[in-house]
Structure 1
Amino acid sequence: MELRQLEYFVAVAEEANFTRAAERVHISQSGVSAQIRQLEQELGAQLLDRAGRSGRTATLTQAGAAALGHARAALASADALQKAVDEVNGLVRGRLVVGMVTACTVTPLFDALAAFHRSHPSIQITLVEDTSDQLVERVRDGALDLALIGASGTAPAGLDALPIVSERLVALVPPDHPLAARSRTTLDRVCAHPIVCLPQGTGIRTVFDAACAAAGLRPDIALQASAPTAVADLAARGLGVAVLSESMASLGSTGSAGSAAVDCADRLVAVPIEDVDTPAVLALVWTATGGPALRELLLHCRREFTPSI
């Protein structure tokens, strides 16, 4: 008795027709008939009543009706066995493609990747950088398994997400700048000066652009840079007001700004922008269809990011 014989028997029983069953299992009608006859010989009972001279139609005999449920159960068990083995193999070999926002140094993500690699050295890890908008689309179309993205307000709809940071925007200016004397400022005051910011497609830029549009403001984007450290450095040199997040300004525990920004820390003053209510969000995103390797990596990510969250 073979699994394919049970598969053919179930197909004929459900289709009540040998021709349709053959199309369903992708072999010839004569092949289906031969395998079912062999199964009947092994069981010592006729399972199907072949009506008509063509033998194309079929109904279950009493023995066939008794056997059908067991045949389905055997096929389901075989399928479960294959899935169980695939789950194990998914943690033994395979490949994970992880995306992150360009020039965003987030130490807990690197720690999670390192811990995962130590546990599963045979799984290849590929790390790519891009804007948040592009990363989201690549997660949705399956090109990326997991991505660290910046978003406006909340993580993108339709994806599973682990929010890491949710914070307000700040303006970074040199100590002698007119805004530096204020404990807080407003968007219109910020936009009265040239702006240095991250490029479009990043979460912080999306928050800033949306807030300006809602307020009817048209900021003068003097300079753009992909790295928050570069944005801060340009502002420290008096080339414009930098617009970044709180953690980038304070070198918070997420490491978003990176250690290179320390050189700018004593040359810049961070002034919160009080009338921008939508937060900038940093989050890990993935789809629910990810395999066992992704689930294991997410466990490491949750463990590493928990202190930051």
Structure 2
Amino acid sequence: MELRQLEYFVAVTEESGFTRAAARLHVAQPGVSAQIRQLERELGQPLFDRSARQVRLTEVGEAVLPYARAALAAVAATRLVVDEMTGLLRGHVVMGAVSAPSVLDLPGLLADFHERHPAVEISLRETDPESLIEALRAGRMDLGLLGIGSSVPAGLDAQVVIDQALVAAVGLTHDLAGKPAGGLADASAGTPAVGVAHDSAGTPTITLRELADRALICLPRGTGLRAALDEACAAAGFTAHVAFEASEPYVLGQLAAKGLGVAVLPESAVAAAQEELHVLEIAEPGLRGQMALVWRSTGSSGPAARAFIAHARRRLPDFG
């Protein structure tokens, strides 16, 4: 009996199929099947019921599974102990991200860690906020990057790495664009004014309450920006009318530039369509969006994961 056979057996079980297991293990599917058949011959019993469309464990397979997992975990732990004593990091770390703002230079962060610890395999996966949080809690990911609202998801620790004002942006032909301050009429155009004021620095502003009846363009539910907007609107006594959603902040500005509504987005996202947008500061209350590194509060993490989290926290800003 070989460790490779046990690894293949666990992979087929967790993936519910030989083809998916082979893809996960980066080997050919016939090789996986051959190793499983050899393991079954050595044990003298079938481990999988192959008669159904989905591969299922037999009663013997169910009994063997916890021991196979324990054997693989023991081998991994043995390697980690030796690596820690010799100062060599090995392993596999997984980082998830809802989006990767260029200001954070995520590729540089990963490349720097790889240069320091070449024996550690790094994976980066883009996913939605709910899936990312679930994967962190379950230990399938070691570190995440996502927007957060007023609170950090339960079971996770966080370091805020981006903290910036949220602004409203409209197309240049929108009725909120280019109007005089204080509700005065534009005498040259004879156009009635709308309620756009300016702050002391001359920046156009609009209150959150004035957005109540506007068609808004925003990130989807589950993102930190959307949570901040929804919480502020609820405190002001109304529900935001979100007409368009997009998962990329720069797309919000592009939609607004086409006259489809008022985009609520981070200041940094305005640059992608700056020449086509009129930007308004949101006041009463002012809104801020935060993006954070998040990791599991409790539970064991291997040396590679701990080193990766520490590296990311040192490399990225800390607004805490």
Q: TM-score, normalised by structure 2?
A: 0.60
Displacement of 1:163 in angstroms is: 1.0
Measured at CA, do residues 231 and 98 of structure 1 come closer, stay the same or move farther in structure 2, by a change above 3 Å? same
Match of 1:297 among 282, 305, 308: 308
Match of 2:234 among 182, 199, 213: 213
Measured at CA, do residues 270 and 308 of structure 1 come closer, stay the same or move farther in structure 2, by a change above 3 Å? farther
Match of 1:162 among 159, 162, 166: 159
User: 2: CA distance between counterparts of 1:90 and 1:174?
Assistant: 56
Match of 1:284 among 293, 304, 309: 293
For residue 118 of structure 1, what is the aligned residue in structure 2? 115
Displacement of 1:108 in angstroms is: 2.7
Mapped contact 1:135–1:147 kept (Cα < 8 A): yes
After superposing the two structures, state which structure 1 stretch, 222-231 or 187-196, moved more: 187-196
For residue 134 of structure 1, what is the aligned residue in structure 2? 131
Measured at CA, do residues 138 and 156 of structure 1 come closer, stay the same or move farther in structure 2, by a change above 3 Å? same
User: 2: CA distance between counterparts of 1:190 and 1:88?
Assistant: 60
User: 2: CA distance between counterparts of 1:106 and 1:94?
Assistant: 28
User: 2: CA distance between counterparts of 1:91 and 1:147?
Assistant: 24
Mapped contact 2:172–2:257 kept (Cα < 8 A): no
User: 2: CA distance between counterparts of 1:124 and 1:178?
Assistant: 52
SS at match of 2:283: coil
Measured at CA, do residues 244 and 91 of structure 1 come closer, stay the same or move farther in structure 2, by a change above 3 Å? farther
For residue 222 of structure 1, what is the aligned residue in structure 2? 243
Mapped contact 1:112–1:297 kept (Cα < 8 A): no
* Runs of 4+ more than 6 Å apart: none
Residue identity matched to 1:302? R
User: 2: CA distance between counterparts of 1:218 and 1:280?
Assistant: 18
For residue 201 of structure 1, what is the aligned residue in structure 2? 222
- Per-residue CA deviations over 1:150-206 (Å, capped at 9, x if unaligned) read 011243343222111223321111233333344211122223221111111111111
Residue identity matched to 1:292? P
Q: TM-score, normalised by structure 1?
A: 0.62
Residue identity matched to 2:148? A
SS at match of 1:144: coil
Mapped contact 1:170–1:271 kept (Cα < 8 A): yes
Displacement of 1:90 in angstroms is: 9.1
State yes or no: 1:273 paired with 2:282. Answer: yes
SS at match of 2:205: coil
Residue identity matched to 2:146? I
Mapped contact 2:100–2:106 kept (Cα < 8 A): no
The number of equivalent residue pairs is 218
Displacement of 1:278 in angstroms is: 5.7
User: 2: CA distance between counterparts of 1:187 and 1:284?
Assistant: 28
Structure 1 unaligned regions, length at least 5: 1-80, 252-260
For residue 258 of structure 1, what is the aligned residue in structure 2? none
Structure 2 unaligned regions, length at least 5: 1-77, 180-195, 197-203
- Per-residue CA deviations over 1:56-95 (Å, capped at 9, x if unaligned) read xxxxxxxxxxxxxxxxxxxxxxxxx987425358953211
Mapped contact 1:90–1:293 kept (Cα < 8 A): no
For residue 247 of structure 1, what is the aligned residue in structure 2? 268
SS at match of 1:296: helix
For residue 175 of structure 2, what is the aligned residue in structure 1? 178
- Per-residue CA deviations over 1:253-294 (Å, capped at 9, x if unaligned) read xxxxxxxx2xx1111122121124563211001124332212
Residue identity matched to 1:218? T
User: 1: CA distance between counterparts of 2:85 and 2:315?
Assistant: 24
After superposing the two structures, state which structure 1 stretch, 200-209 or 218-227, moved more: 218-227
SS at match of 1:168: strand
SS at match of 1:189: helix
Measured at CA, do residues 164 and 103 of structure 1 come closer, stay the same or move farther in structure 2, by a change above 3 Å? closer
User: 1: CA distance between counterparts of 2:88 and 2:141?
Assistant: 17
Question: What is the RMSD of the two structures over their aligned residues, measured on CA atoms?
Answer: 2.8
SS at match of 1:266: helix
